[in-house]
Structure formats: structure tokens, C-alpha cells
Amino acid sequence: MRILICNDDGIASPGLARLAATASTISDDVWVVAPERKHTAAGPSLTMAEPITIRRTAERWYSCSGRPADCVVTAMTWLLTGDDRPDLVLGGINDGRNVAEDLAYSGTIGIAREASFWGVPAIGFSQVKSPEIRPGDDAWLGELIANLWHKRAEWVLEGHWLSINLPSSLPAEIRQPRIGRDKIARRSEVVERDGDRTVLVVPRGRERTSVEGDENSLIDAGYITVNRLNWFGETPLFQDFVNM
């Protein structure tokens, strides 16, 4: 099984190294393409009609000057093309949970969504900040990924992918949560004023709101959460809309 790993925290991220080590417990054909630097809330953004620089940093490891989704695109169009295409794309492990509005903004989720456009099964992994990492975690998580791969017929659908949030410690039981409402980008701070010019900064962080059964409540209770997401969701309008 050929596995491609990308992230949004950058090529030097500990989470990326952990996910690569995890993938290596189940496959000897693991490739990494990751951004040169951290890209918070980059979502599915692509670099179009501008140069992207790829640097080989180690065997099967490459840094990318672009955004997280660019890492998938450069792999699919240049590094692992045709019959060399990966069987599975993994994003992460993100430094912090991806819940609620993060599902729209997250670069980790953007990686999985981009992979779905190429028809490749994909999973975005995120974990709470400052987790309790213990010996055996990589092997346990590797078994989880292997089980998901073996059962892919049960979750792989066109245009879909999985978003998995890990709690502070593993192993853990798995739950399927409701998508919550936890506002990010909820305020801005003025850092400079000069006449008609104002410079703002939107701080990191979230409200940490939670209701029973949503991602935050289950993650805080020590569960792994799994959501199957898709990019083409729509809600039909009422029948006579076109005749208004």
C-alpha cells in the first residue's frame, strides 16, 4: 500500500513525524509532501499560475513552498503520477483539534478533500494540543489505520473523506459525534493605526463551546471522534423555486 502524507503545520512538525512513523508500521511505501511552513486555516486553497518549489529533504520526503492542498496536487501531478498514485492519503497529525467551523477552514481537512477530488481515499488526523504521547501509540494508531483500510468499502464514497480527532491519550474508544458550533475568528485586535490605515490581527483560539454529543464533548471525555465528510453537500430548494 502506497501512502502519501501531507500536513498544514509544516515539514518540521512533530505531528507529521508521528504520522509518518505510524504509517511506516503498516507500509514500507510511505511518501511525505509537506509545506515549508505552518499554514493555519488555509483550507483547500491552491496556488494557481505561480511557481511552487519542491525540495527533497530526505528519502521520500519533500517540502513544498505552497499550501497544504498544493502538497496533494504536486504529488498527484508530478511526484506520484499515473500508476504510481497513492492508495491512501493521510493529513496531519494536526496540532490541535479540528471541530465545528474548522471543518471549513482547516488545512488538514483541505488535504483530505483535495485527495477526494483525485478519487483517493483520505483521512485527516488531528489531536488535542499537548497530548500524552506514550510508547506504543504509533503501533496502536497504525492498527487503526490498517483496520480502516481493510474496511474501506464501508466508508469510502466518491467525494467523501474521514476527519478523525484524537484525545489526549491513546488507546481510546471511537465515537461518531455531531458537528458542533465553536466559533473561531470571533474578534479582531487593532495593532496599528495611521490615518485611514488600520492594521488588525485576528487571534488564534476558540470559544470552547460544547453541547452533549458534539466533537468537543466527546474528545474532552477521552474518545476518538470520526466524521465522514463530503464537499458536495446541498439542500434542495422548495419545488416551485424556479417559478418565483
Task: Express each pLDDT in 14-37 by its tens digit.
Answer: 999 999 999 999 999 999 999 999
Q: Is 72 in contact with 89 (CB distance < 8 Å)? A: yes
Residue pLDDT, tens place only, 192-242: 999 999 999 998 888 888 899 999 999 999 999 999 999 987 777 777 776
Is CATH 3.40.1210.10 the right assignment for the domain spanning 2-178+211-231? yes
pLDDT at 244: 61
DSSP 111: H
Whether the per-residue pLDDT at 123 is higher than 80: the answer is yes
pLDDT at 237: 76
What is the value of pTM for the model shown? Answer: 0.92
Task: pLDDT band for 72, please (50, 70, 90 cuts).
Answer: very high
pLDDT at 59: 97
pLDDT at 189: 95
Q: Cα–Cα distance between 123 and 108 in angstroms, integer?
A: 9
First to last CA, the chain: 53
